[in-house]
Each structure stands twice: as C-alpha cells, then as structure tokens.
Amino acid sequence: MNDLSRPLPSDDGACADAATPEMTMPVDAAGVAVVPAVMSMVDAGAAPVPITPAPANVAPFAASTAITAITTADPLEASIAAATDALLAAQKPDGHWVYELEADATIPAEYVLLVHYLGETADLELERKIARYLRRIQLPGGGWPLFTDGAMDVSASVKAYFALKMIGDPVDADHMVRARDAILAAGGAEASNVFTRILLALFGVVSWYAVPMMPVEIMLLPAWFPFHLSKVSYWARTVIVPLLVLNAKRPRARNPRGVRIDELFRGAPVTVGVPRRAPHQSKGWFSFFRAVDGVLRFVDPLFPAYLRQRAIDAAVAFVDERLNGEDGLGAIFPAMANSVMMYDVLGYPADHPHRAIARQSLDRLLVIHDDEAYCQPCVSPVWDTSLAAHALLETGDARAEAAARRGLDWLRPLQILDVRGDWISRRPDVRPGGWAFQYANPHYPDVDDTAVVAMAMHRADVLDQSGTYGDAIARAREWVVGMQSSDGGWGAFEPENTQYYLNNIPFSDHGALLDPPTADVSGRCLSMLAQIGELPGASEPARRAYDYLLDEQEADGSWYGRWGMNYIYGTWSALCALNAAGLSHADPRMKRAAQWLVAIQNEDGGWGEDGTSYKLDYRGYEPAPSTASQTAWALLGLMAAGAVDLPAVARGISYLHATQREHGLWDEERFTATGFPRVFYLRYHGYRKFFPLWALARYRNLKRAGTNRVTVGM
C-alpha cells in the first residue's frame, strides 16, 4: 500500500520547494568556495530551489551555457581539465573504456591451481609474476585479507598458500611460515569455506564428506520445488551447474608436481567433517537442511544410473547453451573454471571446441604487467564505458562530449534484444532490452548497467537534441520496468529472487545465493525513470520504486550499498534518485541523509568506508581512510540533496583537488566495491578516474549556474 503521507512528485511541480536566493560565496587561495558554518543548509534548514527535472529540451550544464567563473585563474578548472585529458587518453580506438577489475588473492590462486588440476604445462614466467603479486598483498601477520587492510581470511589464505607452494615457494621461506602460522592460529584449513573445501576435495586433500551434498539430479527438479535453480541468482546458477557434474563424478586433480598442503590442518585432513553453521544462518533452518544433507548422502548411491546420466546431460546442455564464446559461462571466473573442469571430467579432449573456448576465456581475464600478474574475476567494459560517459558529459567540454558519444555508439549494438535469458522464468512476457556488464553475457543482462547506459544516452540526446538513442532508451526502459520486483525494488539480474531460506543450506555458507532487490540498484532505476520524464505522480513503476526507496532508509539516514562500499555508495544512489523523482530538499528524510554524510566526513575532508561495514552486528558507520571514489560519491550525494553550499562539500572538493596526481587522476589502493558482502570484494581501477572528475565538474557547474538543483538522474 502507498504511504499517502509522502509527498507525491509530479510533472506539474506541485511538491516543489520554495526557492531561496543564491548567495555569492568567497573563495580560498585554491579557488574553492569557502562556506561559513552558519550557512549550512542542513543545520539552518534553508529551503532549496525546486528540483523537478528539467524539460526534455533543456540541456543541463551544456558547454554553451553562459556561466560566470568562480575565479579568474581557477585551479578547479585545471583539475577538471587534467582529469578530462587523462580519461580521454584511456579511451580505446573503438570508443569504449575498460579498466582492471581486481579482487583478493583467491582468483589468481585458483587460476594457478586450475592449470595444475588439468595437468597443463605451466607458464613459469606467468607463475613467477602471480607469485610476486600474491606475496605483495600478503598481510604482515601472514594471512591474506578480502580487502585492503582487512582481517585475515582463512579460505583466501589457504588458497594463496597452496598456489605459492604449487609455484615452488619453499615451505620454510619466511612468508610461507608466517602464512602457515596465521592459518593454523585461525583454526587451520578445517575452517575453510565450502568453495575452498571443494577445491581441496578435487585435489584429494580432504574427502568429499567435507563438502555439502549437491546431487546432480537437482537439474531435473520441477520449477515448483523449494530448491530449483531458477530460485537462486545467476552467479550461483552458473557456478553450481557444472559443479554438480564434478560432485557426481568426483575427479582427482592431475597435480603433476604432487603438491599437498596437509601442514595447514590441525588434524588429519581426511578427518575433516561437514561444514559448521555460518553466522548468518538460522539454527532451525540449518538443522533442517543438515538433516536433508544426511539423507542425500545415504540415498546418493541408490540413484539409478540412467537418471544420473540424464541429469548430467541436462547440466551439459545448460552450460553449452550459455557457454558465451571467449567471454565464458556467465562471464565470471568461478563459473568459467568449473565449466572447463566439467568438460575435462566428461572426457572432452583439450581441443574440443567447447572445452577449448572455455579454457581460452579464462586466459582473457589475466592482467600481466612487467613484474606482476593476476587474474580478474570478470571484466567491466559496459559499466566502465557508461560511467566514463556520464563523467565526460558532466564536464561540458566539446571533446569530452564527442568522446562520450563514441562510447555510447560502441555500447548501442551491445544491447541485448534477441536473447531471452534466465530472467524469463519469472518474466516470460517481457521483451529483452538490457545490457550486460561484460563484453558479452546475453543470458544475464544487468539491470544496473542498463539504467546507467540509458541515462547516459538520454543525456547525450538532450545535449544535441538528436534523439539518436531514442529506440535504445525505450527498449531499455521497457525491460527495466519489466524486471521490477513486487516490492517496488530491483535486483541486479533477477526479479523476485527472494527465497531467503536458501541461504541456510550447508552449501550457502557464503550467504550469497540470492539477488534480492537493493537500494542502490533500485535507486539507479528510479533515477532512469525520472530522468526520462516518468515521475512518481504519473508513473506507477516510479511510484512503487519511490516508496521502496524511502522504506529502505536506515534509522541514521543512510542507505545500504549492496554493490559498492557501502552506506556511502547506497546513500549517493538513493539521494540521486529521490532528487530526480522530486523529493523536496527540505524533506526530513533528505536532510537526515545529508546530515549522515556530513557527520562521517574524515578530518582530511574526504570520505571512506571498507568491508567491515558489512558485518552482521553493524551498529553504525565504520571509519576508514578516505578514498577518491567514495569522496566523489559523498559529494555527488550531497549535491543531489541540494547541499552544494555546505562547508563539508567545499572540504571534499579541496580533498580531491589536493590528492589529484600529476597524471591528472587519483591513486586508490583500497577496495571500494562489493561482489558479495562479507565474502568477496572488488577494486575497480576505473572508479578513481571517472567519479572524482564527475564530482568536480558537477560542483563547478552548480556553483557557476548559481543553483543547488541537479537536473539529471545521477
């Protein structure tokens, strides 16, 4: 039911705030606006100007807009110009951008171990480079973390140690001794998670009894069954299906060097039992599913051979259909690696087209530098290109706008219009129209990417009044609206993916089987709808999204960030959406969010947050060092809330100006993105390049235009 106490934004601007006069702001020596504390809109409650979206024929912040410079020799302009030049220089000849996407030690370690599992001839130089990478990211205490400066993670540490030993690092080397001691102190390899146990079982280190039962006959279950593959997320589905075949066949790694890691166990590896209940799992549900696991172990040998073969055939057919060429199954490393091992255990020769292309897809994820190398979990060209386009369009620079259009022209043919992906299980009547995250992943388009691409295309069309991308935007809008869940929100890849009980099965100790609606993705979708003119007052999908987003606000004013760290990311996403949808800047919910962002600003003027913010007993903001990308998110969020004149915003701009490097960009070693909360984190190398530019350009545009109203969706 709609909350009728909420303001209902509409095209007629009925809920717009009363405008307040703009004030001339002094500037400091760096050309950054200096705002006295008494002028804080959050503290003083000043009413900002209306925030209804600009008409479709108005180009917000276009290069031709008449604006007055803040200073005659403006360092802010110099910062924007330098960052713009650097971003333009990184554009590929065909128009797109793609930056490295780095995870923790597990992916490069698994790549090394896969080569030896298959018995391939190892590339010794590549292994030496991966070893240098793994040694560099090791913690002083001996283990490996999931994110920069994070706590040691047992599973990541076991895999990193195993890979280094496989490469040839002596077990008595200092870094290996420290790693071994750290792992044993944390409970030993017995404390590893399910995916690490599967790896160890494949290498014969532990028995398959240490791995939860996942019978391949799952492939034959009807859709109504409580555990059906349509009820889990796309990433879980693509990882699990080939894994079911491995679980049925239980192969042994070739491991020509004969490396084992028994020394990492407190007891005999063969005695390792079933996994314990994870902290997120309910005692009742877990006990039930543990009992089911026991029954499955008992009846597994009784399954008829013909039924097992039929299930294996179904799994192979699933993988074959979604193999996705050189981009790989699901276009994510774990699924791609499992598909190679599946083909291998089924006897496919190395030169079989399916096995060969699956194996080739993994090598495309390698990042090889002069001295180090690592393997990415996936690649992010659509995401990088669309976000880079937004940042460049914000600058108003003619060269930047032209480059953004080249990027959008590259994106246009990647729109998925003819493949009805796995999402049709719940939306059979919806036409395709989304974009994937990667170069190609047609069965799994991404709602978040699609909304961001559509908004960038719309901005470009508004600037030149061309309507070039109108058809693409319309199909994107149709698909995004079709993917909306019943609660008004959106997941990233699946609608209605909310079977939360499944996170209690023994296999799901990671707690990441599902893709439920989240505030950050939902905010982006509402932003898209509002930017193209669908406001909550006249659009039922926008109204439902608006209600969902307001319901998701935390008591402290922030929003949870599922795909970026964390509440800073979620709050930026939500504030952009609510501003675009017409929520008054003076609304208490908008002000509370702005107050939260101001309250968590670091002393250096920046903002930061890390993976500790995802802990189950979260009690409030977890301080972390400032980063350029998170500072940009906070600034963009505050500006969306109408708070461009806050002292906190000026300090944040100063932070970005002060930390910009000679090459025009920013350095950022810390992880600021999320794969799976508490389990897997990401470092997008592009985030430090386009987000700070975006924030600087928006600040300049708002100050020069003498307004505090952002007129685009994000």
For 556-600, write each residue's pLDDT tens digit. 999 999 999 999 999 999 999 999 999 999 999 999 999 999 999
C-alpha closest to that of 629 among 662, 594, 655: 655
pLDDT at 323 over 90: yes
What does the pLDDT read at residue 510?
A: 85
Residue 633 DSSP code: H
What does the pLDDT read at residue 36?
A: 30
Pairing outcome for strands 673-676 and 680-684 = antiparallel
Least confidently predicted of 183-197, 285-299, 425-439, 512-526: 285-299
C-alpha closest to that of 502 among 704, 191, 175, 214: 214
pLDDT at 55 over 80: no
Confidence of residue 671 (pLDDT cuts 50, 70, 90): very high
- Domain regions of the chain by residue span: 37-99+380-705, 101-375
| Strand ranges inside 247-355, DSSP E | none
Least confidently predicted of 5-9, 291-295, 636-640: 5-9
Which positions are annotated as active-site residues?
448
pLDDT at 72 over 50: no
Rounded Cα distance, 504 and 288, in Å:
9
Contact present, 25 and 16 (Cβ < 8 Å): no
Rounded Cα distance, 613 and 230, in Å:
30
Contact present, 214 and 199 (Cβ < 8 Å): no
What does the pLDDT read at residue 49?
A: 26
State the chain's maximal CA–CA distance in angstroms.
82
pLDDT at 607 over 90: yes
- In the chain, pLDDT over 90 holds for what percent of residues? 84
Confidence of residue 511 (pLDDT cuts 50, 70, 90): confident
Query: Beta partners for 375?
Result: 366
pLDDT at 611 over 50: yes
> SS3 of 34, please?
coil
Confidence of residue 168 (pLDDT cuts 50, 70, 90): very high
Give the CA distances from residue 432 to residues 163, 385, 427, 476, in Å, rounded to whole numbers and listed in that order.
Answer: 41, 21, 10, 8
Give the CA distances from residue 584 to residues 142, 178, 526, in Å, rounded to whole numbers and listed in that order.
Answer: 51, 56, 16
Rounded Cα distance, 414 and 177, in Å:
49
Asked whether the CA dihedral 114, 116, 118, 121 is positive or negative, the reply is positive
Rounded Cα distance, 543 and 547, in Å:
6
Helix (H) or strand (E) holding 685: none
Helix (H) or strand (E) holding 662: none
Architecture per CATH, domain 101-375, reads as Alpha/alpha barrel (1.50)
- List of residues 6+ apart from 619 with CB closer than 8 A: none
pLDDT at 68 over 80: no
State which fold the 37-99+380-705 domain adopts: Glycosyltransferase (1.50.10)
- Average pLDDT on 76-95 reads 97
Between 302 and 475, residue with greater pLDDT = 475
Contact present, 390 and 407 (Cβ < 8 Å): no
Give the count of alpha carbons within 13 A of 682, CB side only.
21
Query: Beta partners for 607?
Result: 627
Rounded Cα distance, 398 and 410, in Å:
19
pLDDT at 12 over 70: no
Confidence of residue 508 (pLDDT cuts 50, 70, 90): confident
- Chain position carrying tokens 């007891």: 267
What does the pLDDT read at residue 46?
A: 31
Kindly tell me the burial class for residue 590, based on how many C-beta atoms sit within 10 Å of its own C-beta (0-12, 13-18, 19 or more): buried
pLDDT at 2 over 80: no
Q: Where are the alpha helices (DSSP H) in 501-613?
A: 519-531, 540-551, 567-581, 588-599
Token reading at 204: 């014969």
Token reading at 219: 């492939």
What does the pLDDT read at residue 596?
A: 98
Mean pLDDT (the chain) is: 90
What does the pLDDT read at residue 492?
A: 97
Give the CA distances from residue 562 to residues 490, 552, 571, in Å, rounded to whole numbers and listed in that order.
Answer: 12, 12, 11
Confidence of residue 24 (pLDDT cuts 50, 70, 90): very low
What does the pLDDT read at residue 281?
A: 86
- In the chain, pLDDT over 70 holds for what percent of residues? 90
Rounded Cα distance, 73 and 211, in Å:
65
Q: Where are the alpha helices (DSSP H) in 186-264?
A: 194-202, 234-249
What does the pLDDT read at residue 73?
A: 59
What does the pLDDT read at residue 530?
A: 98
Q: What is the pTM of this model?
A: 0.89
Query: Beta partners for 684?
Result: 101
- Average pLDDT on 296-304 reads 90
pLDDT at 189 over 50: yes
pLDDT at 37 over 90: no
Centre a 10 Å sphere on the Cβ of residue 634 and count the other Cβ atoms it contains: 31
- List of residues 6+ apart from 79 with CB closer than 8 A: 656, 657, 660, 696
pLDDT tens per residue across span 536-559: 999 999 999 999 999 999 999 999
Written as one letter, the residue type at 57 is N
